[in-house]
């Protein structure tokens, strides 16, 4: 064990600096609370960017992983893995899908979706149909293909040449998609609620319009539910709120509640094209990851956490509206369920820091959107506490001064 100062020094010395400046060392979590190395307690309204949807260390998930790793940690996908079959069957039962592929992260799930869309289109239409339409301000991961799919230059810059075959359209503007569809298009890929892009929910008309466009032009619809899925928005999968089904959906983040697992789900005639030799993953769908996923889904069903997220999320947004909606530096409060964004008129980094000083963990995206993603098990009291801290911080003199300066 090193001291706090030693960890900070060693982190700066031995880790690649890609996550920027960090000085908080978290060592333990329970429910919606986490503790740092000095024993200070924080209310966690980020939950690992929508990973710990059942809170930190939920006993049922811990127990499932524990039991599984004692029994069997890994074998290759040359063999059938019972927990993997169970998880696939349950995901299919709970969704539009008929087939599942398992991997280890959101980016990998999206890679699988991109490969499958190309495979499907080549089979159906021939070699010239490979282009995928994605949205500006989207986020789909950090691999070379998924940064290309991501419609944000800041994640692409420096890594060119990018992968051919992606074009971009405006989120929530159906006309802008229509404009880029061509004889090369094979799929449209989007997040039902943009996360990194500033917590922007799709409109119902937009998602229905995209589905119609896909049907008219014979395109696949891919929903990236890596961040908005797994109960956060008020249904197990966010798109179920809109009554629009995709052909392919990707999951990761909260599927294992912190145990790494990603999944790509697809309709029968699409998913069945991933034939022997076309794709694979060494760790994908290994026993403990699937045991975690199964335990998460069972907890979600037993306690109906998605319905609770819808209810408490509505209450939380109302609390925020009452406390901060009229502040001059608050531009908008928006979200779905417990995926909540507060758009500010100024950069949010300092607000995040001041909240942390008061024991509240939140995050900021797109420079000026505070992102609040508490575990779905959050209580009304915890929401009140978070709303109070945020309100207090937004009214600090130094924040207000920074707001007028920017
Ligand atoms: C986080 C995220 C990803 C990438 O997931 P990783 O597990 O970090 O690869 C992809 N899509 C969305 C919408 C995300 O929020």
**For 355-383, how does the pLDDT look when each residue is reduced to its tens digit (9 = 90+)?**
999 999 999 999 999 999 999 999 999 99
pLDDT digits (tens, 9 = 90+) for 159-176: 999 999 999 999 999 999
- Listed residues 249, 277, 303: the one ending a domain: 303
Buried b (16+ CB within 10 A) or exposed e, 98-125: ebbbbbbbbbbbbbbbbbbbbbbbeeee
Q: What CATH number does the domain containing 145 carry?
A: 3.40.640.10
Number of domains in the chain: 2
* Residue 6 reports pLDDT greater than 90: yes
Out of 52, 189, 193, 226, mutate this one to test ligand 1's pocket (max ligand atoms within 8 Å of CB): namely 226
- Listed residues 256, 275, 303: the one ending a domain: 303
Ligand 1, atom 11, lies closest to the CA of: 140
For residues 148 and 263, state if they share a domain: yes
Count the Cβ atoms, other than its own, within 10 Å of residue 339: 25
Stated pTM of the model = 0.98
Name the nearest CA neighbour of 262 among 108, 75, 145. Answer: 108
* Residue 130 reports pLDDT greater than 90: yes
Out of 140, 225, 261, mutate this one to test ligand 1's pocket (max ligand atoms within 8 Å of CB): namely 140
User: Average pLDDT for residues 222-233, to the nearest whole number?
Assistant: 98
CA-105 nearest atom, ligand 1: 7
CA-262 nearest atom, ligand 1: 7
For residues 194 and 278, state if they share a domain: yes
Ligand 1 centre distance from Cα of residue 140 (Å)? 5
For residues 185 and 66, state if they share a domain: yes
For residues 113 and 181, state if they share a domain: yes
pLDDT of residue 1: 84
For residues 129 and 268, state if they share a domain: yes
Task: Identify the residue whose tokens are 């506490």.
Answer: 385
User: Average pLDDT for residues 199-218, to the nearest whole number?
Assistant: 98
pLDDT of residue 236: 98
- Listed residues 274, 303, 332: the one ending a domain: 303
* Residue 405 reports pLDDT greater than 90: no
Q: What CATH number does the domain containing 383 carry?
A: 3.90.1150.10
The CA distance from 53 to 19, in Å, is: 23
For residues 226 and 337, state if they share a domain: no
Ligand 1 pocket (Cβ < 6 Å) reads 105-107, 110, 139-141, 191, 195-196, 224, 226-227, 252-253
For residues 165 and 265, state if they share a domain: yes
pLDDT of residue 136: 98
* Residue 50 reports pLDDT greater than 90: yes
pLDDT digits (tens, 9 = 90+) for 240-280: 999 999 999 999 999 999 999 999 999 999 999 999 999 99
DSSP reduced 3-state for 326: coil
For residues 94 and 212, state if they share a domain: yes
Ligand 1, atom 5, lies closest to the CA of: 106
pLDDT of residue 402: 75
Q: Of all residues in the chain, what percent carry a pLDDT higher than 90?
A: 97
Ligand 1 centre distance from Cα of residue 332 (Å)? 25
pLDDT of residue 406: 59
Ligand 1 centre distance from Cα of residue 260 (Å)? 12
| Sequence-ordered alpha helix ranges (H) in 195-275 | 204-217, 268-271
Ligand 1 centre distance from Cα of residue 236 (Å)? 17
User: Average pLDDT for residues 138-157, to the nearest whole number?
Assistant: 98
User: Average pLDDT for residues 18-43, to the nearest whole number?
Assistant: 96
For residues 77 and 136, state if they share a domain: yes
273 is written with which tokens? 């094209």
Q: How many CA atoms lie within 13 A of 2 on its CB side?
A: 9
For residues 36 and 112, state if they share a domain: no
For residues 29 and 46, state if they share a domain: yes
Give residue 374's domain range: 4-57+305-405
What is the rounded average pLDDT for all residues in the chain? 97
Angle at 179 between CA 176 and CA 182, to 5 degrees: 135
pLDDT digits (tens, 9 = 90+) for 384-395: 999 999 999 999
For residues 296 and 389, state if they share a domain: no
């Amino acid at each position: 064990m090193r001291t706090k100062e030693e960890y900070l020094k060693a982190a700066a010395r031995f880790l690649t600096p890609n996550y920027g400046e960090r000085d908080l060392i978290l060592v333990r979590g329970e429910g919606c609370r986490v503790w740092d190395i000095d024993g200070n307690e924080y209310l966690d309204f980020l939950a690992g960017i929508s990973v710990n949807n059942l809170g930190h260390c939920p006993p049922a998930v811990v127990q499932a992983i524990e039991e599984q790793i004692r029994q069997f940690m890994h074998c290759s996908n040359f063999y059938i893995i019972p927990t993997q079959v169970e998880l696939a069957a349950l995901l299919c039962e709970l969704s539009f899908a008929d087939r599942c592929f398992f991997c280890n992260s959101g980016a990998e799930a999206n890679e699988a979706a991109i490969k499958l869309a190309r495979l499907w289109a080549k089979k159906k239409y021939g070699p010239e149909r490979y282009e995928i339409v994605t949205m500006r301000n989207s986020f789909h991961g950090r691999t070379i293909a998924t940064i290309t799919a991501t419609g944000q230059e800041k994640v692409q810059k420096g890594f060119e040449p990018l992968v051919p075959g992606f074009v971009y359209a405006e989120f929530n503007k159906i006309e802008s998609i229509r404009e880029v569809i061509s004889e090369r298009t094979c799929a449209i890929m989007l997040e039902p609620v943009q996360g990194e892009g500033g917590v922007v929910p799709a409109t119902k008309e937009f998602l229905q319009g995209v589905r119609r466009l896909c049907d008219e032009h014979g395109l696949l619809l891919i929903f990236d539910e890596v961040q908005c899925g797994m109960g956060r928005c008020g249904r197990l999968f966010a798109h179920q709120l809109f009554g629009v089904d995709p052909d392919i959906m990707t999951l990761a983040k909260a599927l294992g509640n912190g145990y790494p697992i990603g999944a790509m789900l697809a309709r029968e005639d699409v998913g069945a094209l991933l034939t022997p030799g076309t794709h694979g993953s060494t760790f994908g769908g290994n026993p403990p990851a699937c045991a975690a996923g199964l335990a998460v889904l069972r907890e979600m069903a037993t306690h109906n956490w998605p319905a609770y997220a819808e209810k408490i999320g509505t209450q939380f947004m109302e609390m925020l509206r009452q406390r901060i909606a009229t502040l001059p530096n608050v531009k908008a409060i928006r979200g779905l369920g417990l995926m909540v964004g507060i758009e500010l008129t100024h950069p949010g980094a300092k607000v995040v820091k001041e909240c942390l000083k008061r024991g509240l963990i939140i995050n900021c995206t797109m420079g000026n959107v505070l992102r609040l993603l508490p575990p779905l098990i959050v209580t009304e009291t915890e929401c009140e506490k978070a709303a109070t801290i945020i309100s207090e911080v937004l009214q600090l003199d130094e924040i207000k001064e920074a707001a007028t300066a920017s």
